[in-house]
Amino acid sequence: MPRSLNSKPLERALIHGARLVDPGLQLDQILDVLIENGRIKRVAPNITAALDYERIPAQDLILTPGWFDMHVHFREPGREDEETVATGCAAAVAGGFTGVCTMPNTSPTVDKREIVEAIMRQGGKTMVDVHPVAAATKGREGKELAEMAELAEAGAVAFSDDGCAIANAELARRALEYAGMFNRPIIEHAEDASMCHGGAMNEGVIATQIGLPGLPSVSEDIMVARDLLLAEYTGRHVHVAHISTKNAVDLVRQAQRRGLRVTCEVTPHHFVLTHDAVIGYDTNTKMNPPLRAAEDVAAVIAGLQDDTIAVIATDHAPHSAEEKELEYTAAPFGILGLETALGLIVTNLVQTKKLALMPAVAKVTAAPRKILNLPPVQIKEGGPANLTLFSLDKKWRVDRNRFYSKSRNTPFHGWELTGQVFGVYNKGQWWQNPDF
Protein backbone atom coordinates (compact mmCIF):
# COMPACT_ATOMS: atom_id res chain seq x y z
CA MET A 1 0.00 0.00 0.00
CA PRO A 2 1.26 3.53 -0.74
CA ARG A 3 2.02 5.85 2.13
CA SER A 4 -0.47 8.52 3.06
CA LEU A 5 0.60 12.11 2.41
CA ASN A 6 -0.18 14.14 5.51
CA SER A 7 -0.29 17.74 4.36
CA LYS A 8 -2.02 20.47 6.33
CA PRO A 9 -3.59 23.86 5.68
CA LEU A 10 -1.18 26.65 6.60
CA GLU A 11 -2.35 30.19 6.04
CA ARG A 12 0.36 32.11 7.90
CA ALA A 13 3.98 31.00 7.86
CA LEU A 14 7.50 32.38 8.02
CA ILE A 15 10.22 30.46 6.18
CA HIS A 16 13.35 31.69 7.89
CA GLY A 17 16.93 31.73 6.66
CA ALA A 18 16.63 29.77 3.41
CA ARG A 19 18.86 30.23 0.39
CA LEU A 20 16.41 31.43 -2.26
CA VAL A 21 17.23 30.23 -5.77
CA ASP A 22 14.81 31.59 -8.38
CA PRO A 23 15.93 31.34 -12.03
CA GLY A 24 13.09 33.55 -13.24
CA LEU A 25 14.31 36.40 -11.05
CA GLN A 26 18.01 35.45 -11.25
CA LEU A 27 17.89 35.44 -7.46
CA ASP A 28 20.37 33.55 -5.28
CA GLN A 29 20.33 35.01 -1.77
CA ILE A 30 19.64 34.08 1.85
CA LEU A 31 16.26 35.61 2.73
CA ASP A 32 13.08 35.07 4.72
CA VAL A 33 9.69 34.52 3.09
CA LEU A 34 6.46 35.54 4.82
CA ILE A 35 3.31 33.74 3.66
CA GLU A 36 -0.23 34.86 4.33
CA ASN A 37 -3.40 33.28 2.94
CA GLY A 38 -1.46 31.25 0.41
CA ARG A 39 0.41 34.23 -1.04
CA ILE A 40 3.86 35.68 -0.51
CA LYS A 41 3.46 38.79 1.63
CA ARG A 42 7.11 39.71 2.02
CA VAL A 43 10.60 38.61 0.93
CA ALA A 44 13.41 40.18 2.92
CA PRO A 45 16.24 39.46 5.37
CA ASN A 46 15.39 38.86 9.03
CA ILE A 47 11.61 39.28 8.92
CA THR A 48 9.88 39.55 12.29
CA ALA A 49 6.46 37.90 12.28
CA ALA A 50 3.60 37.79 14.77
CA LEU A 51 3.33 34.79 17.04
CA ASP A 52 0.46 33.26 15.05
CA TYR A 53 2.75 32.70 12.04
CA GLU A 54 4.18 29.19 11.95
CA ARG A 55 7.93 29.47 11.83
CA ILE A 56 9.73 27.08 9.47
CA PRO A 57 13.49 27.13 10.18
CA ALA A 58 15.27 26.75 6.84
CA GLN A 59 18.92 27.47 7.50
CA ASP A 60 21.11 25.36 5.19
CA LEU A 61 18.11 24.63 2.94
CA ILE A 62 17.37 25.71 -0.64
CA LEU A 63 14.04 27.39 -1.38
CA THR A 64 12.94 27.46 -5.02
CA PRO A 65 9.74 27.98 -6.97
CA GLY A 66 7.67 24.79 -6.90
CA TRP A 67 9.13 22.09 -9.14
CA PHE A 68 7.17 21.11 -12.26
CA ASP A 69 7.25 17.76 -14.08
CA MET A 70 5.85 18.06 -17.59
CA HIS A 71 5.75 14.30 -18.27
CA VAL A 72 4.04 11.85 -15.90
CA HIS A 73 1.71 8.87 -16.25
CA PHE A 74 -0.91 8.60 -13.51
CA ARG A 75 -2.83 5.68 -15.15
CA GLU A 76 -6.24 7.14 -14.31
CA PRO A 77 -8.60 6.32 -15.97
CA GLY A 78 -8.14 2.62 -16.59
CA ARG A 79 -5.29 1.31 -14.45
CA GLU A 80 -6.01 2.69 -11.02
CA ASP A 81 -4.37 -0.43 -9.58
CA GLU A 82 -1.01 1.03 -10.71
CA GLU A 83 -1.56 4.72 -9.92
CA THR A 84 -4.35 7.25 -9.48
CA VAL A 85 -4.26 11.01 -9.78
CA ALA A 86 -4.33 11.16 -5.97
CA THR A 87 -1.44 8.73 -5.39
CA GLY A 88 0.53 10.21 -8.28
CA CYS A 89 0.15 13.66 -6.79
CA ALA A 90 1.28 12.32 -3.40
CA ALA A 91 4.41 10.93 -5.09
CA ALA A 92 4.90 14.29 -6.80
CA VAL A 93 4.80 16.21 -3.53
CA ALA A 94 7.16 13.72 -1.89
CA GLY A 95 9.54 14.36 -4.78
CA GLY A 96 9.29 18.14 -4.41
CA PHE A 97 6.91 18.78 -7.33
CA THR A 98 3.96 21.16 -7.07
CA GLY A 99 2.88 20.81 -10.71
CA VAL A 100 2.65 17.99 -13.26
CA CYS A 101 1.45 17.25 -16.78
CA THR A 102 -0.37 13.93 -17.10
CA MET A 103 0.07 12.09 -20.40
CA PRO A 104 -2.88 10.76 -22.39
CA ASN A 105 -2.09 7.06 -22.86
CA THR A 106 -4.74 5.93 -20.39
CA SER A 107 -7.73 3.65 -20.99
CA PRO A 108 -9.83 5.28 -22.30
CA THR A 109 -7.45 7.67 -24.01
CA VAL A 110 -7.55 11.33 -22.97
CA ASP A 111 -9.18 12.44 -26.21
CA LYS A 112 -12.50 13.81 -24.92
CA ARG A 113 -13.41 16.91 -22.97
CA GLU A 114 -14.98 14.98 -20.11
CA ILE A 115 -11.80 12.97 -19.49
CA VAL A 116 -9.66 16.12 -19.37
CA GLU A 117 -12.12 17.67 -16.95
CA ALA A 118 -12.26 14.55 -14.77
CA ILE A 119 -8.47 14.49 -14.41
CA MET A 120 -8.46 18.18 -13.50
CA ARG A 121 -11.20 17.63 -10.90
CA GLN A 122 -9.16 14.86 -9.29
CA GLY A 123 -6.07 17.03 -9.34
CA GLY A 124 -8.02 19.87 -7.75
CA LYS A 125 -8.46 17.73 -4.63
CA THR A 126 -4.68 17.64 -4.11
CA MET A 127 -2.00 20.25 -3.40
CA VAL A 128 -0.55 19.70 -6.89
CA ASP A 129 -1.39 21.70 -10.02
CA VAL A 130 -2.44 19.02 -12.53
CA HIS A 131 -2.40 19.92 -16.23
CA PRO A 132 -3.57 17.20 -18.63
CA VAL A 133 -1.90 16.61 -21.98
CA ALA A 134 -4.53 15.40 -24.45
CA ALA A 135 -4.12 12.94 -27.30
CA ALA A 136 -3.20 14.41 -30.67
CA THR A 137 -5.19 11.74 -32.52
CA LYS A 138 -8.36 9.93 -31.57
CA GLY A 139 -7.56 6.89 -29.46
CA ARG A 140 -3.87 7.61 -30.13
CA GLU A 141 -4.38 5.49 -33.24
CA GLY A 142 -2.70 7.94 -35.62
CA LYS A 143 -5.62 7.96 -38.05
CA GLU A 144 -7.67 11.06 -37.29
CA LEU A 145 -6.97 14.24 -35.32
CA ALA A 146 -8.61 14.57 -31.92
CA GLU A 147 -11.01 17.47 -31.27
CA MET A 148 -8.19 19.83 -30.37
CA ALA A 149 -10.27 22.98 -29.93
CA GLU A 150 -12.58 21.28 -27.47
CA LEU A 151 -9.70 19.67 -25.58
CA ALA A 152 -7.77 22.94 -25.34
CA GLU A 153 -10.88 24.70 -24.08
CA ALA A 154 -11.33 21.98 -21.45
CA GLY A 155 -7.81 22.62 -20.12
CA ALA A 156 -5.36 20.49 -22.10
CA VAL A 157 -2.00 22.30 -22.18
CA ALA A 158 -0.43 20.26 -25.00
CA PHE A 159 -1.12 17.38 -27.36
CA SER A 160 0.72 14.08 -27.69
CA ASP A 161 0.28 10.45 -28.69
CA ASP A 162 2.97 9.59 -26.14
CA GLY A 163 3.87 5.94 -26.12
CA CYS A 164 4.11 6.15 -29.88
CA ALA A 165 4.86 8.81 -32.46
CA ILE A 166 2.36 10.29 -34.89
CA ALA A 167 3.64 8.04 -37.65
CA ASN A 168 1.78 9.60 -40.59
CA ALA A 169 3.73 12.68 -41.65
CA GLU A 170 0.72 14.50 -43.09
CA LEU A 171 -1.27 13.92 -39.91
CA ALA A 172 1.71 15.10 -37.83
CA ARG A 173 1.83 18.26 -39.95
CA ARG A 174 -1.88 18.92 -39.41
CA ALA A 175 -1.52 18.25 -35.69
CA LEU A 176 1.22 20.87 -35.46
CA GLU A 177 -0.85 23.38 -37.42
CA TYR A 178 -4.00 22.91 -35.38
CA ALA A 179 -2.20 22.79 -32.02
CA GLY A 180 -0.46 26.03 -32.95
CA MET A 181 -3.84 27.71 -33.41
CA PHE A 182 -4.38 27.25 -29.68
CA ASN A 183 -0.78 28.06 -28.73
CA ARG A 184 -0.17 24.49 -27.66
CA PRO A 185 2.94 22.42 -28.46
CA ILE A 186 2.95 18.92 -29.89
CA ILE A 187 4.91 16.65 -27.54
CA GLU A 188 6.37 13.90 -29.68
CA HIS A 189 7.49 10.44 -28.66
CA ALA A 190 10.29 10.24 -31.22
CA GLU A 191 10.47 6.71 -32.51
CA ASP A 192 10.04 5.17 -35.94
CA ALA A 193 8.01 2.14 -34.90
CA SER A 194 8.75 0.30 -38.17
CA MET A 195 12.29 -0.26 -36.87
CA CYS A 196 11.39 -1.32 -33.34
CA HIS A 197 9.13 -4.40 -33.47
CA GLY A 198 9.88 -6.65 -30.51
CA GLY A 199 12.79 -4.56 -29.26
CA ALA A 200 13.47 -4.57 -25.53
CA MET A 201 16.67 -2.55 -25.00
CA ASN A 202 19.15 -0.36 -26.84
CA GLU A 203 20.51 -2.06 -29.95
CA GLY A 204 24.25 -2.50 -29.55
CA VAL A 205 27.01 -4.61 -28.12
CA ILE A 206 25.30 -5.20 -24.74
CA ALA A 207 22.07 -6.38 -26.38
CA THR A 208 24.09 -8.79 -28.53
CA GLN A 209 26.05 -10.10 -25.55
CA ILE A 210 23.00 -10.81 -23.39
CA GLY A 211 20.70 -11.92 -26.20
CA LEU A 212 17.96 -9.29 -26.05
CA PRO A 213 16.32 -7.78 -29.18
CA GLY A 214 17.39 -4.21 -29.80
CA LEU A 215 15.75 -0.82 -30.28
CA PRO A 216 18.06 1.10 -32.64
CA SER A 217 18.97 4.66 -31.73
CA VAL A 218 18.50 5.68 -35.37
CA SER A 219 14.75 5.11 -34.97
CA GLU A 220 14.71 8.12 -32.61
CA ASP A 221 16.99 10.16 -34.84
CA ILE A 222 14.80 9.61 -37.91
CA MET A 223 11.63 10.77 -36.16
CA VAL A 224 13.33 13.80 -34.62
CA ALA A 225 14.67 14.77 -38.04
CA ARG A 226 11.23 14.44 -39.61
CA ASP A 227 9.55 16.47 -36.88
CA LEU A 228 12.13 19.22 -37.13
CA LEU A 229 11.43 19.50 -40.84
CA LEU A 230 7.71 19.72 -40.09
CA ALA A 231 8.32 22.34 -37.40
CA GLU A 232 10.31 24.37 -39.90
CA TYR A 233 7.66 23.99 -42.61
CA THR A 234 4.73 24.89 -40.35
CA GLY A 235 6.43 27.36 -38.04
CA ARG A 236 4.86 25.53 -35.11
CA HIS A 237 6.27 24.29 -31.81
CA VAL A 238 7.38 20.68 -31.43
CA HIS A 239 8.68 19.40 -28.11
CA VAL A 240 10.72 16.18 -28.16
CA ALA A 241 9.88 14.01 -25.16
CA HIS A 242 12.54 12.03 -23.27
CA ILE A 243 15.35 12.61 -25.78
CA SER A 244 18.06 9.95 -25.47
CA THR A 245 20.50 9.78 -28.39
CA LYS A 246 23.55 11.84 -29.28
CA ASN A 247 22.35 12.42 -32.84
CA ALA A 248 18.89 13.53 -31.72
CA VAL A 249 20.42 16.04 -29.32
CA ASP A 250 22.64 17.41 -32.07
CA LEU A 251 19.72 17.66 -34.50
CA VAL A 252 17.75 19.69 -31.96
CA ARG A 253 20.78 21.88 -31.24
CA GLN A 254 21.20 22.69 -34.93
CA ALA A 255 17.49 23.38 -35.33
CA GLN A 256 17.49 25.78 -32.39
CA ARG A 257 20.44 27.65 -33.90
CA ARG A 258 18.37 28.08 -37.06
CA GLY A 259 15.57 29.58 -35.01
CA LEU A 260 13.09 26.71 -35.17
CA ARG A 261 10.44 26.39 -32.47
CA VAL A 262 11.76 23.19 -30.95
CA THR A 263 12.37 22.22 -27.34
CA CYS A 264 13.15 18.94 -25.63
CA GLU A 265 13.39 17.19 -22.29
CA VAL A 266 15.50 14.42 -20.79
CA THR A 267 14.77 12.07 -17.90
CA PRO A 268 17.07 11.48 -14.92
CA HIS A 269 17.48 7.81 -15.84
CA HIS A 270 18.78 8.79 -19.27
CA PHE A 271 21.57 10.94 -17.81
CA VAL A 272 22.37 8.56 -14.93
CA LEU A 273 22.25 5.03 -16.40
CA THR A 274 23.62 3.38 -19.53
CA HIS A 275 22.52 0.16 -21.24
CA ASP A 276 25.09 -1.66 -19.10
CA ALA A 277 22.46 -1.57 -16.33
CA VAL A 278 20.39 -4.11 -18.28
CA ILE A 279 23.04 -6.85 -17.96
CA GLY A 280 21.33 -8.34 -14.88
CA TYR A 281 17.97 -8.54 -16.71
CA ASP A 282 16.26 -6.37 -14.08
CA THR A 283 13.03 -5.32 -15.79
CA ASN A 284 13.18 -2.06 -13.85
CA THR A 285 15.85 -1.08 -16.37
CA LYS A 286 13.38 -1.50 -19.25
CA MET A 287 12.00 1.78 -20.54
CA ASN A 288 11.19 3.45 -23.85
CA PRO A 289 13.32 5.08 -25.09
CA PRO A 290 15.74 2.50 -23.72
CA LEU A 291 18.85 3.18 -21.70
CA ARG A 292 21.48 4.11 -24.26
CA ALA A 293 25.27 3.88 -24.63
CA ALA A 294 27.75 5.95 -22.62
CA GLU A 295 28.32 8.30 -25.57
CA ASP A 296 24.60 9.08 -25.63
CA VAL A 297 24.60 9.82 -21.91
CA ALA A 298 27.54 12.18 -22.40
CA ALA A 299 25.63 13.89 -25.23
CA VAL A 300 22.49 14.50 -23.19
CA ILE A 301 24.59 15.92 -20.34
CA ALA A 302 26.26 18.25 -22.86
CA GLY A 303 22.78 19.16 -24.07
CA LEU A 304 21.77 20.06 -20.55
CA GLN A 305 24.90 22.15 -20.13
CA ASP A 306 24.43 24.25 -23.28
CA ASP A 307 20.64 24.45 -22.76
CA THR A 308 19.79 22.51 -25.91
CA ILE A 309 17.78 20.41 -23.44
CA ALA A 310 15.69 22.93 -21.52
CA VAL A 311 13.75 20.54 -19.29
CA ILE A 312 14.28 17.60 -16.97
CA ALA A 313 11.10 15.51 -16.76
CA THR A 314 10.67 12.15 -15.09
CA ASP A 315 8.40 10.13 -17.43
CA HIS A 316 7.02 8.67 -14.19
CA ALA A 317 5.51 5.36 -15.39
CA PRO A 318 4.04 3.10 -12.70
CA HIS A 319 3.54 -0.61 -13.35
CA SER A 320 2.28 -3.43 -11.18
CA ALA A 321 4.75 -5.86 -9.65
CA GLU A 322 3.08 -8.74 -11.51
CA GLU A 323 3.78 -7.11 -14.87
CA LYS A 324 7.36 -6.18 -14.08
CA GLU A 325 8.11 -9.69 -12.79
CA LEU A 326 7.66 -11.15 -16.28
CA GLU A 327 10.65 -12.07 -18.43
CA TYR A 328 12.47 -9.04 -19.83
CA THR A 329 11.02 -9.11 -23.34
CA ALA A 330 7.44 -9.45 -22.03
CA ALA A 331 7.61 -6.86 -19.24
CA PRO A 332 6.21 -3.38 -19.93
CA PHE A 333 8.38 -0.33 -20.52
CA GLY A 334 8.68 2.30 -17.80
CA ILE A 335 9.86 3.15 -14.30
CA LEU A 336 8.86 5.46 -11.47
CA GLY A 337 10.53 8.86 -11.45
CA LEU A 338 8.93 11.47 -9.22
CA GLU A 339 10.31 10.47 -5.83
CA THR A 340 13.94 10.01 -6.92
CA ALA A 341 14.29 12.93 -9.36
CA LEU A 342 15.59 15.56 -6.97
CA GLY A 343 18.18 13.24 -5.47
CA LEU A 344 19.37 12.07 -8.89
CA ILE A 345 19.65 15.65 -10.18
CA VAL A 346 21.58 16.84 -7.13
CA THR A 347 23.80 13.75 -6.90
CA ASN A 348 24.62 13.34 -10.58
CA LEU A 349 24.54 16.90 -11.92
CA VAL A 350 24.92 19.50 -9.17
CA GLN A 351 27.28 17.74 -6.78
CA THR A 352 29.48 16.61 -9.68
CA LYS A 353 29.53 20.20 -11.02
CA LYS A 354 28.19 19.08 -14.39
CA LEU A 355 25.42 21.63 -13.93
CA ALA A 356 25.26 24.59 -11.56
CA LEU A 357 22.34 24.83 -9.16
CA MET A 358 20.58 27.76 -10.87
CA PRO A 359 20.31 26.17 -14.35
CA ALA A 360 19.43 22.82 -12.81
CA VAL A 361 16.53 24.44 -10.94
CA ALA A 362 15.46 26.29 -14.09
CA LYS A 363 14.98 22.96 -15.89
CA VAL A 364 12.36 21.83 -13.37
CA THR A 365 10.69 25.18 -12.64
CA ALA A 366 10.77 28.05 -15.14
CA ALA A 367 11.50 26.17 -18.39
CA PRO A 368 8.65 23.63 -18.45
CA ARG A 369 6.06 26.25 -17.50
CA LYS A 370 7.34 28.57 -20.24
CA ILE A 371 7.21 25.81 -22.87
CA LEU A 372 3.60 25.07 -21.91
CA ASN A 373 2.62 28.77 -21.82
CA LEU A 374 1.71 28.54 -18.14
CA PRO A 375 2.05 31.51 -15.79
CA PRO A 376 5.55 31.77 -14.28
CA VAL A 377 5.99 30.81 -10.63
CA GLN A 378 8.39 33.10 -8.80
CA ILE A 379 9.30 33.92 -5.22
CA LYS A 380 8.13 37.51 -5.21
CA GLU A 381 5.87 39.61 -3.06
CA GLY A 382 2.21 39.43 -4.02
CA GLY A 383 2.54 36.19 -5.94
CA PRO A 384 1.16 32.78 -4.98
CA ALA A 385 3.23 30.78 -2.52
CA ASN A 386 4.26 27.81 -4.67
CA LEU A 387 7.49 26.56 -3.16
CA THR A 388 9.89 23.64 -2.85
CA LEU A 389 12.33 23.44 0.07
CA PHE A 390 15.19 20.95 0.02
CA SER A 391 18.69 20.14 1.20
CA LEU A 392 21.67 19.97 -1.15
CA ASP A 393 23.68 17.95 1.35
CA LYS A 394 21.32 15.52 3.09
CA LYS A 395 22.00 11.90 2.20
CA TRP A 396 19.24 9.31 2.06
CA ARG A 397 18.71 5.79 0.81
CA VAL A 398 16.05 4.98 -1.77
CA ASP A 399 13.51 2.53 -0.35
CA ARG A 400 10.75 1.66 -2.79
CA ASN A 401 8.70 0.21 0.05
CA ARG A 402 8.34 3.72 1.47
CA PHE A 403 7.18 5.33 -1.78
CA TYR A 404 3.97 7.33 -1.92
CA SER A 405 3.31 5.94 -5.40
CA LYS A 406 1.11 2.86 -5.69
CA SER A 407 3.82 1.09 -7.67
CA ARG A 408 7.37 0.03 -6.84
CA ASN A 409 9.16 -0.24 -10.21
CA THR A 410 12.43 1.61 -9.74
CA PRO A 411 16.01 0.62 -10.65
CA PHE A 412 17.30 2.89 -7.89
CA HIS A 413 16.14 0.85 -4.88
CA GLY A 414 18.93 0.84 -2.30
CA TRP A 415 20.88 3.69 -3.89
CA GLU A 416 22.28 6.36 -1.59
CA LEU A 417 21.49 9.81 -2.96
CA THR A 418 22.47 13.30 -1.88
CA GLY A 419 19.77 15.96 -1.91
CA GLN A 420 16.46 15.46 -0.15
CA VAL A 421 13.10 17.22 -0.10
CA PHE A 422 12.32 18.95 3.20
CA GLY A 423 8.90 20.40 2.42
CA VAL A 424 6.48 21.69 -0.20
CA TYR A 425 3.98 24.56 -0.09
CA ASN A 426 1.17 25.09 -2.61
CA LYS A 427 -2.54 25.98 -2.63
CA GLY A 428 -2.32 27.05 0.99
CA GLN A 429 -1.12 23.56 2.00
CA TRP A 430 2.17 22.61 3.63
CA TRP A 431 3.77 19.16 3.57
CA GLN A 432 6.92 18.42 5.54
CA ASN A 433 8.91 15.27 4.84
CA PRO A 434 8.67 12.98 7.89
CA ASP A 435 11.81 11.14 6.74
CA PHE A 436 14.03 14.22 6.66
In-domain check, residue 151: yes
Query: How many structural domains compose the chain?
Result: 2
Does 422 score more than 90 pLDDT? yes
Whether residues 252 and 237 share a domain: the answer is: yes
Q: 100 in a domain, yes or no?
A: yes
What's the pLDDT tens digit per position in 327-355?
Answer: 999 999 999 999 999 999 999 999 999 99
Q: Residue 376 falls within a domain, yes or no?
A: no
Residue range(s) defining the domain that contains residue 138: 67-371
Residues 22 and 132 in one domain: no
Do residues 214 and 242 lie in contact, with contact meaning Cβ atoms separated by under 8 Å? no
- Read out DSSP for 202-254? ESSHHHHHHT--EE-HHHHHHHHHHHHHHHHHH---EEE-S---HHHHHHHHH
Q: What is the mean pLDDT of residues 112-140?
A: 98
Query: Is residue 1 in some structural domain?
Result: no
On whether both 198 and 301 belong to a single domain, the answer is yes
pTM of the model: 0.98
In a domain, 2, yes or no: no
Residue 181 is assigned to a structural domain of this protein: yes
Write out pLDDT tens, residues 31-88.
999 999 999 999 999 999 999 999 999 999 999 999 999 999 999 999 999 999 999 9
17 has a pLDDT exceeding 90: yes
Catalytic annotation present for 315: yes
CA-CA distance, 67 to 84, in Å (whole number)? 20
Judgement on whether residues 359 and 390 belong to the same structural domain of the protein: no
CATH number at residue 181: 3.20.20.140
Respond yes or no on whether the N-terminal peptide bond of residue 332 is cis (omega within 30° of 0): no
Query: Confidence band (pLDDT; 50, 70, 90) for 13?
Result: very high
Q: Looking at the structure, tell me whether residues 28 and 170 fall in a common domain.
A: no
Are 115 and 71 in a shared domain? yes
Q: Rounded to the nearest 5°, which phi and psi values hold at 202?
A: -60, 130
Q: Are residues 50 and 92 in the same domain?
A: no
Angle of CA points 162, 204, 331, to nearest 5°: 45
Share of the chain above pLDDT 90, in %: 99
pLDDT of residue 1: 76
The per-residue pLDDT for range 259-298, each reduced to its tens digit, is: 999 999 999 999 999 999 999 999 999 999 999 999 999 9
Q: Answer whether residue 2 shows pLDDT above 90.
A: no
Tens-place pLDDT, residues 347-379: 999 999 999 999 999 999 999 999 999 999 999
- Cis peptide bond prior to 77, omega within 30° of 0: yes
Do residues 50 and 178 share a domain? no
CA distance linking residue 22 with residue 66, whole number of Å = 10
Compute the average pLDDT of residues 210-219. Answer: 98
Q: Are residues 43 and 72 in the same domain?
A: no
pLDDT exceeds cutoff 90 at 221: yes
**161 and 21 inside one domain:** no
**What pLDDT does residue 218 have?**
98
163-195 pLDDT per residue, tens: 999 999 999 999 999 999 999 999 999 999 999
Residue 142 clears pLDDT 90, i.e. is over it: yes
Residue 163 is assigned to a structural domain of this protein: yes
Kindly name the residue from 315, 393, 399, 435 that is annotated as catalytic.
Answer: 315
Show which of 350, 371, 392 is a domain's final residue.
Answer: 371
- Indicate the residue among 347, 371, 395 that finishes a domain: 371
- Indicate if 34 and 149 belong to the same structural domain: no
Using alpha carbons only, what angle is made at residue 342 by residues 31 and 201, rounded to the nearest 5 degrees?
A: 160
The answer on 213 and 138 residing in a single domain is: yes
Domain boundary among the residues 371, 391, 413 is at: 371
- Mean pLDDT to the nearest integer, 221-235: 98
Report the CATH number at residue 425. 2.30.40.10
- Binned at pLDDT 50, 70 and 90, residue 322 comes out as very high
- Rounded percentage of the chain residues whose pLDDT exceeds 70: 100
120 belongs to a structural domain = yes
CA-to-CA dists, residue 187 to 29, 38, 116, 169, 288, angstroms: 35, 32, 17, 15, 15
